[in-house]
Amino acid sequence: MKLEKFISKLKSENKIKVIEQEVDVYLELTHIAYVEVKKENSMPLLFLNPVDKKRNKKFDIPVIANLFANFDMIDEIIGDTEEIASNINNLIKLKPPTGFIEKIFKAYEMFSLRHVFPKRSHKKGLCQENVCLNGDIDLFNLPITTTWEQDSGAFITLGQVYTASVDGKINNLGMYRLQVHDKKTLGLHFQLHKDSNNFVREFKEIGKKMPVSIAIGGDPLYTWCGSAPLPFGIFELMLYGFIRKSPARLVKCVSNDLYVPNDSDIVIEGFLDPEKLLDEGPFGDHTGYYTLKEPYPFMEVSAITTKKNPMYLTTVVGKPPLEDKYLGYPTERIFLPLLQTTAPDLIDYKMPENGVFHNLILCKINVKYPSHAKQTMHTLWGVGQMSFVKHAIFVDKNAPNLEDYEALTKYILNRLDIKKILITEGICDSLDHSSPTANEGAKLGIDATGDEIENSGIEILEDEELLLKLKNKDFTELKQYMMDTKSPITVLKYKKTKSIKDVKEDIYPILSNTRVVFVIDDKENDVNNPYMLIWRIVNNIDAKRDIYFENEKIIIDATNKNSLDGFDREWPEDVKCTKSVLESLQKRLLIDIDDEFKNKFYL
């Protein structure tokens, strides 16, 4: 599926919005895409006339944003995810055939696997119709976007990053943000725990530069495969062949020995010196917060090649909902059978997009014995990218559908037993900002399986009456939720003058009328917006530091941390749209939003 043909098909079916006005790649384009993807009927966007006003540059390369903007696009690009998951499950459970007919079917299944392995060619590829070398190399000739005002520059956000081990036996396709430092230098956000970093260590040991190639565009399935959490050593383009039932066609790069898809729209080639680092960031990432400036590897660009008429593919990250909502769905469905090989009693799982995926997971399991849920917690925390999950909640097979959040929440709260809560420690995603130490912190597991807890006889009051019980006037507002469950929730706003640890006794007067209290900052939060409250809470807590138990009641500190809390890391700001940019886009009729929309999504 060539990108240009797919876009042509979407245009003919009115499934893509075409924007002909000139739009700046600095903030404007990304703000339009950020607004669009939050709509219920969000659509892909095709920008025909991107410009860079700062450099007085007009691009002849159109930009596509929000290509994965809805579930229909996922079906168009990837196909039937349930069928793919079933095929993977059948492959995992493959057994020797017992009869003649079964032998025929098994032979067919094995024969179909011939498509899995990519095909390599040494001929010139479609992606090499235009070649820029030496003095002609200039990353600023590509319409690379800047998303947020505090970003340290323009970033490639949907680059397929191709790397390989020193001996070339292990190939990897990953997706990392890539900062444009100058016209020939591209920052590589190779996080500590990711596969690419393993290769960097290998090349550092032998004192050689490491080849890196970035492909943009081509079949959209390549891009999704770059985000797929496959085990180390399995080339992600094998998954492409499995899904497409046709092998990925690769061509050799012009300036290094890596191979990239033949139909890529743009390829950026180069080399990484493992002995050298450059400061990368800040960047407003998919957590909805800026990740701070840190040293990371970078590549010196040795070639840029393109199709004759390339397209540039980009995505916008920030506060949910984003394209992640749709990209994450096939990942959940397709990789469920693989998770079940290590956790065989796992029935289903869900990673809500407002939990930014690695901050919250909901799991349904077939409970067979005491502490089975806790055993499964440890199992999942030891599997690949599941090891980054901070908060995991487990229910049993009789629980509501994992996507029925209201019914599921009630089910959990009616079984919230402090004795069945596990707090442990492990690795964290490099983007996590709330743990006391970078890349490691606390993990919370809640076993909400089994019978309901006993009713504790909580007397429910109106919100105003409950707030009056708090004598500390720095608690400014509250909202109660799930008052018809055995564990009512209170969200409490706090004008922070002391740490919660120092004022938690001031909260005790309301614990006779509620069971779980979440404390949030007085500013930039809305107690009436549960979707964004979940986003804020799971981003902001470290379970070991921020959860307090008091006579079967729970207080959770979800405020921003600072020196009052003994927090000595820098706490980042959450990303916000630039007001003047939104106003300009509104005047030019490029967006149409009101204050309610802005407040709903904390724009």
Tens-digit pLDDT profile for residues 74-91: 999 999 888 888 887 777
Rounded CA gap, 154 and 156, in Å?
A: 7
CA 378 to chain centre: 22
Q: Is residue 188 part of a domain?
A: yes
Per-residue pLDDT at 103: 42
Q: What is the CATH number of the domain that holds 441?
A: 3.40.1670.10
What is the domain extent for residue 478?
A: 463-565
What separation in angstroms does the CA of 25 have from each of 49, 160, 214, 314?
10, 20, 20, 11
Contacts of 36 (CB under 8 A, 6+ apart): 17, 42, 43, 45, 65, 66, 69, 591
Per-residue pLDDT at 111: 45
Per-residue pLDDT at 99: 52
360, with CB counted inside 10 A (0-12, 13-18, 19+), is: buried
Can you list the residues of the chain whose pLDDT is less than 50? 94, 97-98, 100-108, 110-111
Tell which of 423, 447, 471 closes a domain: 447
Per-residue pLDDT at 556: 98
Average pLDDT over the chain, rounded to an integer: 93
| Residues 110 and 83 occupy one common structural domain | yes
Model pTM above 0.85:
yes
| Residues 48 and 160 occupy one common structural domain | yes
Tell which of 273, 296, 314 closes a domain: 314
| Residues 299 and 359 occupy one common structural domain | no
Per-residue pLDDT at 122: 87
Q: Where are the alpha helices (DSSP H) in 13-69?
A: 28-37
| Total domains present in the chain | 3
Q: Is residue 579 part of a domain?
A: no
Q: Is residue 585 part of a domain?
A: no
Quick one: which of 162, 535, 546 has its CA closest to 322? 535
| Residues 125 and 157 occupy one common structural domain | yes
Per-residue pLDDT at 204: 95
| Residues 146 and 275 occupy one common structural domain | yes
Per-residue pLDDT at 101: 45
Indicate the Cα dihedral angle 358, 364, 366, 371, nearest 10°.
Answer: 50
Per-residue pLDDT at 456: 76
Q: Is residue 598 part of a domain?
A: no
| Residues 443 and 470 occupy one common structural domain | no
Q: Is residue 113 part of a domain?
A: yes
